[in-house]
A = this chain, B = another copy of it.
Amino acid sequence: MSLVQSLDEALSAITDGIMLVVPREVCGVPMAATRALIRRGVKDLHLVALPTSSMQADMLIGAGCVKTLETSAVSLGELGAAPRFTSAVLKGQVAMKDATCPALHAALQAAEKGVPFMPLRGLIGSDVLKYRDDWKVIDSPFGNSDPIVLLPAINPDVALFHAPLADEYGNVWIGRQRELVTMAHASKRTIVTVEKIEKRNLLDDPLYAAGTLPGFYVDAIAVAENGAWPLPLPDTYKADGEHLALYAKMAASEEGFREYVGKYVLAMQVA
């Protein structure tokens, strides 16, 4: 199959129960893909939001796609709490693996480097650590009774994100959003939606190459114009504040969320 696929084809590797890693709001959140996953009704995801999420995690949780959520925070920012996330956690409908931002970055870097764990300062004495029985504390062999946390590598099945541009070789321009590179390196498969595909080789241009994830790491690409909407895409477009406010209002209740999904997810054409 060609690297460039329809959105639904590209997402076919995101099957029930896998570990999926997605980026924070400022990095290019794959919202068109998120709607397509909800339409398909993917279930039991172990969602890793690196290191936080907003509307994307809230929608996936509200639509019942998420079994386990591993992140440092979910919030709609100035629009307040993420309502479906909050409700699901309080009802015990989603298993929380609360983390802290640098721990998620470090655990993905461990996978990127092929090591079983990464050390991290901080955390000692926090309940974030207390409730993570997968994190270990050792005496640093370079210290003197100096405890340090070791975080096991996070090896996601799939990394999914949205970017401004890809070329016909699967190279994806990610600019300054370098956690997208780490996500791709750390994951077994990488699926990218993009605003557009150009007939060129991004790696031939030193200016573009500096901000490019090589196609070697990319398993599928789908074009999804305005694919981060209503969230922003860095250096490309801003958030649709009005629509986000509408979401915050409708998602405040279970019924309102269903109505939102009916209107803006299920009824929408695939990009």
Contact = CB atoms under 8 A, between A and B. Distances in A.
B136 A116 contact: no
Contacts of A113: 106, 118, 120
A176 interface: yes
A64 interface: no
B176 A206 contact: yes
Contact of A119 (B118, B121, B211): B118
Contacts of A229: none
A23 interface: no
A207 interface: yes
Interface in A16-51: none
Contact of A116 (B142, B211, B234): B142
B116 A143 contact: yes
A150 to B, nearest CB: 6
B138 A116 contact: no
Interface string A90-128: 000000000000000010010001111111110000000
A209 interface: yes
Contact of A150 (B136, B142, B146, B210): B142
A264 interface: no
Nearest to A148: B116
Contact of A117 (B142, B207, B234): B142
A140 B117 contact: yes
Contact of A211 (B141, B152, B211): B211
Interface in A187-210: 206-210
Given A106-B113, A120-B115, A211-B211, A142 B148 contact: no
Interface of A: 106, 109, 113-121, 136, 138, 140-143, 146, 148, 150, 152, 174-176, 206-211, 234-235
